[in-house]
Structure formats: structure tokens, C-alpha cells
Amino acid sequence: MFSFKVLKSEGKARLGELTTPHGKIKTPAFMPVGTQGTVKAMLHKDLLDIGTQIILGNTYHLYLRPGIEVIREAGGLHSFIGWHKPILTDSGGFQVFSLSRGRGDGKSKVVVKEEGVEFRDHLAGDLHFFTPEKVIEIQEAFGSDIIMPLDECVEYPTTYTYAKIALERTLRWLQRSIRAKKREDQALFGIVQGASFEELRRESAMRTVEMDLFGYAIGGLSVGEPKEVMYSMTQIVCDLLPWEKPRYLMGVGMPEDIIEAIARGVDMFDCVAPTRMARTGTLFTSYGKINIRNEKYKRDFSPPDPECDCYTCKNFTKAYLRHLFNVEEISAYILNTIHNLRFYHRLMENIQRAIEEGKFGEFRSSWYNVYDFQG
Amino acid sequence: MFSFKVLKSEGKARLGELTTPHGKIKTPAFMPVGTQGTVKAMLHKDLLDIGTQIILGNTYHLYLRPGIEVIREAGGLHSFIGWHKPILTDSGGFQVFSLSRGRGDGKSKVVVKEEGVEFRDHLAGDLHFFTPEKVIEIQEAFGSDIIMPLDECVEYPTTYTYAKIALERTLRWLQRSIRAKKREDQALFGIVQGASFEELRRESAMRTVEMDLFGYAIGGLSVGEPKEVMYSMTQIVCDLLPWEKPRYLMGVGMPEDIIEAIARGVDMFDCVAPTRMARTGTLFTSYGKINIRNEKYKRDFSPPDPECDCYTCKNFTKAYLRHLFNVEEISAYILNTIHNLRFYHRLMENIQRAIEEGKFGEFRSSWYNVYDFQG
């Protein structure tokens, strides 16, 4: 039901194909984030139009609303949300640590125990307890194609000592997750932690690989560390992961981060950047990011990105998008999101083609010549 | 460039075809409201999918933002917003009177003079002056297919004396509008006023018809008067309008109002109800309105309306739509709006077919048997 093949490679960059019960995914792949059972400001049909192959759902949010019973009764998450292509769900761990910590009353509401993690949700503040077994059970009710084990996410910066404790606990929780898993139509990934410590990243990678999972995720990056650290940790981990298994860099990132991670051997990505930034007026273009609110676009009757083939760029001008955004029309968020996600998917398609043709190195350097990634 | 033909009729109900420079419109027609150059929560492509033939733009809003210069430079409203089918723009009069009155500081900011109307906008509170000539000039910059003359909208209830004054002024302003109009690729409608006074409605209708316009609108209804009053005023006016010209009932209405107005001879409608109510969770169905927030839909895995052919009903359940609405996802507003507008368009298509087949009377009575319009 599940398989992964590296079809072609150039250096460490790989062109692959991931097979799931809900279809095949060509990698490198970008997964739009559909936190609450919908990618924000997008309809599923528009996702299909722009080439989305798989979406990500957030276990934490879906567990709170609408709750597992509704999703179970609907026949699983695919059926509940009406999305019939692959779905990956995270473990909820990241949200437990980030959203609950951020409750703003100064006191952490997260208590990590060996058994699991106790937290208060960011809505009503109710008390919940996630264990590795519970998180697997929730995702089995969802029926997502790819599922993630509960892990302990540490803040950046952290100490070596605490990163080591979290790493050990994450490994023990992974062992329990593997034992708890019952459904055979779902693939479990292991998550490599270790913060920004090379030694811990190596240890986490090797010991996670020993547990022989379908795929491996790199967690705990893009949490505030410098980009060089993110890139070097990614490289250290990828070099220790088995060649024939898919690699997923969680929560990353900007286009340049994705290109750099692919150069280091990563196959899968998710990030809220294209959708969230669309809703604040930032559009990705072939030449770098622009903000559509800018006064200079008031009478600019050209498309956001002349090289883009999306509905937004083919039909609308910067002047119109600026107007829609300024008057707070919902269609501004929709059109911006369509464009940004298509930008990400087109980037992945161009990279896939480049690897196929043995021109990824060329693509990477010419991309930096054209795209202003510091703007 | 413009023509209108009554293709078939049954009693006073008419099946017609309105030809404009941007295409033909089959009537009776419902025009979704695109206040600020977009129908709220809709993409143009989704409007085309559900059968939208013409949209309405609000002169008041577009004049304020982005302003006529930007629209003129873009080559007109069609080009600015990327909508290439017919557009009707109103005169801005209704918004001047309703939005400026509603500034909340207790003092009316609207001063009606013979020359025109002075008002402060609802945004920055800047002072503006609309004259009949100015309103024609703005709409000529827009290049909308059908344009409306400045009229004086009175509140409900009002006195006979004031209604008469407003009626006379509206007629003088119409005369000035006709003289000011230069473009031949736009059709000007006359607006019949007269509040809830039969005698004034008759006088307004007859004297407006004398000015020989391309079409006639009925204004000043659906402003709080009882439905029977709306229906009887509509009937009185329609009976005095020339058979071979299109009739447009402004700002109306609920499905039952539209059916009753068609039975009295109206051809065109616009109303914010389907779009606005979509954004508060109210969906129109073959059996009446429902509110998707209702707890009873939590585990209801059936579509909002099993008889509907829209994207929402064909792909999603009430349980999913309820969830999306509860968690305030933008896609809730999009999916609800697609459904409500398709409901309105499907109603018009069914009525067109009924008139074509000489079964409108039958349609009307069977509709009331099934649809709970008081719910």
C-alpha cells in the first residue's frame, strides 16, 4: 500500500515517488497546511487546479474541533473534509508546546511527564492529556495516510542537557507509538530531534533509524535558529538517513530554505508561510517577495508575476489585488493564496524537472541570481 | 448595441433577453452584488460556474476606493476588475442616504440641495458632493453596461409631502442625467420612486416613462415596508411601464419576493441577501432557510440541499460546513456563498423554464408548498 522510490538523483538531491492509499506523490513535494480541515482561504478544487498532491492536517486543532468522534463517524478525515488525495497529520506535539505555552498568563500550561504531556488548550483552556498511544489513536480515527508520533519539541535556544532529555523521551515515545499503531493503511514516520547540537542530531538520527520506520522527519528546526544552523542540522541528519526512505523537514520554509534542504537530500516540506503571508498581502514572485499593499502598485496594471501560470496572475493585476486587499475583501485572501501556493508548487515542479534533467545545480545557482531572497 | 426582447410571457411574468455590449442576459435575472469590484467571498470563475450573467457594482464604494482615476486608467471597470460580462452600476444615491445617515453621531451628514447631495463618507468622513451630472460622469469612467441616475431615496416611513418633494426632485435629476450622458455604449434606466403612496408611484411611473429610457427601475422598496406594500407598489408600477422595456426591482430580495415580483412583471433583481446571509451561516435550501451553525448538523453528513447542483452541495456535508463556520475558516464563507448564489440562479433558471413552458403559475404554487419562507 505504501512505497517510496528514488527515481533519480543529482548529488544529494532526489526525485522520488511516494505511493499512499490515496495516491502517488511526486517528490520533492510541498504540502499546504490545512490546520482545521481546510487550507486557509482555499477550496479543494483550487488546490487540485494548482497541483497540490497532499495536504497536512493538524491533530491538535482537529482533536479540539470538531473532535475525533465526528471525524470517526464521518468515516475518517478524508471523508469528513471531502479531500480524496493523501493527507499527512502531525502529532499535535508542536501545537501543544507552542500554543499552550503562549497562553499569555506567564505560566506555562504544559507539563511534560514520562507518560505524556498535559496541557490546556488555547480556546477554553480545558485540561487535556496527550500520550503517544492517544496521539496514534486519534490519527487512526482520522485515517490520514501519513501519521506522526508524539515528540517533545524544545524551544530555541535550549541547553544541551535539556535537548538530550527531550531527545531520549522522544525516542521512548516513538517506541510506544510503534507498539500502539494498529492500522496497516497508514505509514508512521520517526521524528529526529536534537535541537542545534550536532552530536545530538547524529544520535537522534541513528537511534531513530534503528527503529526502522517508513519515513523520517526532521523536527525542531525553523524555530528561530540562524539559517546556517538549520541547513547544517538538515545536512547532518540527511546524511545519516537511509537513502531509500522519504525525508520530511517539518515546518520549513521559505523558498530558499526549501532549495537548500533539497540540495541536502530532503523530499517533503510543509509551511504556513505561503498561506499566512498571502493573508497579510505578501506575494512570492520570480524576483522575490512583494507586498501588494504598496502604494506603487496603485496603478500597476501588470500581473503579480508575469512568469506565473496561476488563475490570479492570468486574470488580475497588482492594482486590482491591492484594491481588494485595501478594502479587506475575502477575495483578496483567496487570490493571494492561490498565487502563493502555486508559486511553491511551481518551484517544486521546476526542481523535479531540473533533477530529472541533471540540472538541479544549475537551477539552484540561477535561482539565486534572479530571486531576491533577502528582500 | 442594446436591445431587450420579451420572448415569452405567462400572465404578467415575462421571459426575456437583454443584449448589452458585454453579452446577453436571459431574464428574469438575479444580479449578485459586487460592491467593491468583487462579489464578496467569490471569485469571478466561480460566478461563471454557477451561471452569473451580470454583476452589480456600487458607485459610492468604487468612487471612494480605488477612485475613478484608477478605474479610468485601467480602461474601465470591466478591465480593472477582470470581469468581462455585463456590469450594472447603481448611482450611489442609496448608499449616500443610508451609509452617511448611519454615521452614528446623531446628526445627518446628508444635505440634499437642488444641485445635488452633499455627504460625508462612512470611512474618513470627508465631504463629497454628488450631482446627477457627476454620477453620470463617474459611471462613464467605469464604462458599466447599465447605469443609474442619481435619485433621492427617502426613508420608510415618510410623509406624502416629503415623498412628493423627493419624487419631483428625482424627476428633475433624471432629466439632467439624460442631458449629461455622452457614451452610447451604456444604457440608462429611469428610477421610479413614490415611497408607499399608490398615487405617487403612479405619477412617478408615468412621468418617468415619458422620458423614454432604455429600462425602468423601481426604487425605494425593501426599505422596511410590509411585504404586501412592496408587492402592491411593484404591481402598480409594472402595470404602467411599457411592455417592451426591461424592469428592475432594486435591492429585492428574498426568494419569495422575487417570485412575487416576477408574477407582477419584473425582469431584474439584485440583493445582498444570498451573499451576506452566507457569511452569517444562513443557507437557502429547497425547503427553506437553515442555519449551518445549528448543533443538530454536527453529525449530519448530508449536503445542505440534496437538490442543489453546486460545488458545495456536490462535495461537502452540513457537518463539515458547520465545522468550518464554527472555526471561522474563510472557506466557510466561500462555500456558503457559492451555494446561496447558485440557489438564487437556479431559482431564476427554473422560473425561466417554467415561463417558457407556460407553467409559471404551477411553479409558483408548488414552490410555496415545499419552501418554508417564514422559517
Contact assignment for A65 to B315 by CB distance below 8 Å: no
- Cβ atoms within 10 Å of B83's Cβ, excluding its own: 23
List the single best residue of A38, A316, A322 to mutate versus B (max B Cβ within 10 A): A38
List the single best residue of A43, A69, A294 to mutate versus B (max B Cβ within 10 A): A43
Residue A268 CB contacts under 8 Å (≥ 6 apart), including other chains: A18, A27, A28, A29, A31, A215, A246, A247, A248, A249
Looking at the complex, report in whole angstroms how far the Cα of residue B35 sits from the nearest Cα belonging to chain A.
10
Residue-wise DSSP of A288-323? EEEETT-GGGTT--S-S-TT--SHHHHH--HHHHHH
Band the pLDDT of A186: cuts 50, 70, 90: very high
Contact assignment for A324 to B37 by CB distance below 8 Å: yes
pLDDT at B144 over 90: yes
3-state secondary structure of B338: helix
Contact assignment for A42 to B80 by CB distance below 8 Å: no
Contact assignment for B70 to A38 by CB distance below 8 Å: no
The C-alpha R_g of chain B, in whole angstroms, comes to 20
Contact assignment for A70 to B299 by CB distance below 8 Å: yes
Q: Which residues of A are catalytic?
A: 90, 270
- Alpha-carbon gap, residue B94 to B149, rounded angstroms: 11
Which of A99-103, B99-103, B139-143 ranks highest by mean pLDDT? Answer: B139-143
| A266 or B100, higher pLDDT | A266
Q: Measure CA B52 to chain center.
A: 13
Helix (H) or strand (E) run with residue A255 in it: helix A255-263
Instruction: Pick the residue from chain B with its C-alpha nearest to A337.
Output: B330
> Which pLDDT value is given to residue B34?
98
Band the pLDDT of A59: cuts 50, 70, 90: very high
Q: What are A's interface residues with B at a Cβ cutoff of 8 A?
A: 36-45, 61, 65-66, 70, 73-74, 80-82, 298-299, 301, 311, 315-317, 319-320, 322-324, 326-327, 329-331, 333-335
pLDDT at B104 over 80: no
Amino acid at the residue A101: R
Task: Go through the domains of chain B in sequence order and give each one's CATH number.
Answer: 3-271 (3.20.20.105), 278-360 (no CATH)
- Alpha-carbon gap, residue A36 to A30, rounded angstroms: 18
* pLDDT single digits (tens) B261-299: 999 999 999 999 999 999 999 999 999 999 999 999 999
Residues of chain B neighbouring A327 (CB-CB closer than 8 A): 36, 61, 65
Predicted TM-score of the model (pTM) = 0.98
Contact assignment for B331 to A81 by CB distance below 8 Å: no
Instruction: Pick the residue from chain A with its C-alpha nearest to B336.
Output: A43
- Ordered alpha helix ranges (H), chain B: 44-50, 59-64, 68-74, 77-81, 93-101, 132-142, 160-180, 198-209, 227-238, 255-263, 273-278, 311-315, 318-326, 330-356, 360-370
How much is the mean pLDDT over chain B? 96
Contact assignment for B317 to A42 by CB distance below 8 Å: no
Residues of chain A neighbouring B298 (CB-CB closer than 8 A): 66, 70
Residue A360 CB contacts under 8 Å (≥ 6 apart), including other chains: A10, A11, A13, A262, A263, A351, A354
Nearest-by-Cβ selection for B36 from A61, A299, A329: A329
Q: Measure CA B111 to chain center.
A: 25
pLDDT at A35 over 90: yes
Residues of chain B neighbouring A311 (CB-CB closer than 8 A): 43, 45
Instruction: Pick the residue from chain A with its C-alpha nearest to B83.
Output: A315
Residues of chain A neighbouring B316 (CB-CB closer than 8 A): 82
Nearest-by-Cβ selection for A40 from B44, B323, B330: B330
pLDDT at B320 over 60: yes
Contact assignment for A37 to B324 by CB distance below 8 Å: yes
Contact assignment for B36 to A61 by CB distance below 8 Å: no
Which among A163, A165, A228, A173 is positioned nearest to A201, based on CA atoms?
A163
> Which pLDDT value is given to residue A106?
54
Looking at the complex, report in whole angstroms how far the Cα of residue B254 sits from the nearest Cα belonging to chain A.
24
> Which pLDDT value is given to residue A374?
82
> Which pLDDT value is given to residue A215?
98
pLDDT at B108 over 50: yes
Nearest-by-Cβ selection for B324 from A38, A311, A315: A38
Residues of chain B neighbouring A301 (CB-CB closer than 8 A): 73-74
> Which pLDDT value is given to residue B129?
97
pLDDT at B222 over 90: yes
